[in-house]
Amino acid sequence: MRAASVIAAVVGLLSAIVCFLGLAAEALPYPDPTPEMLAAQAASVRAWQLGILLSLGLSAAGIAGFMRGRRTGSEVEPRPTPSQRTCSDGATRGVELPRGR
């Protein structure tokens, strides 16, 4: 799950950068725009803004998933190895015990 969270965070941040650059390029004014050009530019600006919003949301979800997975991973007790397990009679399983002479 950690890998998916990191991938989501990275993809979200990279797409936010791309959307920001697209928004900056689209926001440049035309020299003598017609009303149709202004309407198309406004629609394109809204689309880039929505792209930034969605990509930052994806990135935030990825970061939150990474932090949540990290927190729960550190609180979980590790499983005992076979050499650490003991039977009900006190003998250790998985480890050869020295035999009496």
99, part of any domain: no
10 in any annotated domain:
yes
Write out the residue range of the structural domain in which residue 23 sits.
2-71
Residue 88, domain member (yes or no): no
pLDDT (0 to 100) of residue 14: 95
Question: Does residue 94 fall inside a structural domain?
Answer: no
Q: How many domains is the chain built from?
A: 1
Burial of 36 (0-12, 13-18, 19+ CB in 10 A): exposed
Q: What is the pLDDT of residue 69?
A: 76
At residue 30, the pLDDT reads 86
- Asked, for residue 13, whether it belongs to a domain, the answer is yes
Residue 75 has a pLDDT of 55
pLDDT in tens, 52-101: 999 999 999 999 988 887 655 455 566 656 555 555 565 555 555 566 65
* Whole-structure pTM value: 0.63
Domain-located, residue 83: no
Dihedral over alpha carbons 73, 74, 75, 78 (to 10 degrees) = 80
Q: Is the pLDDT of residue 48 over 90?
A: yes
- Any domain includes 76: no
- Report yes or no on 31 lying in a domain: yes
> If you average pLDDT over every residue of the chain, what do you get?
81
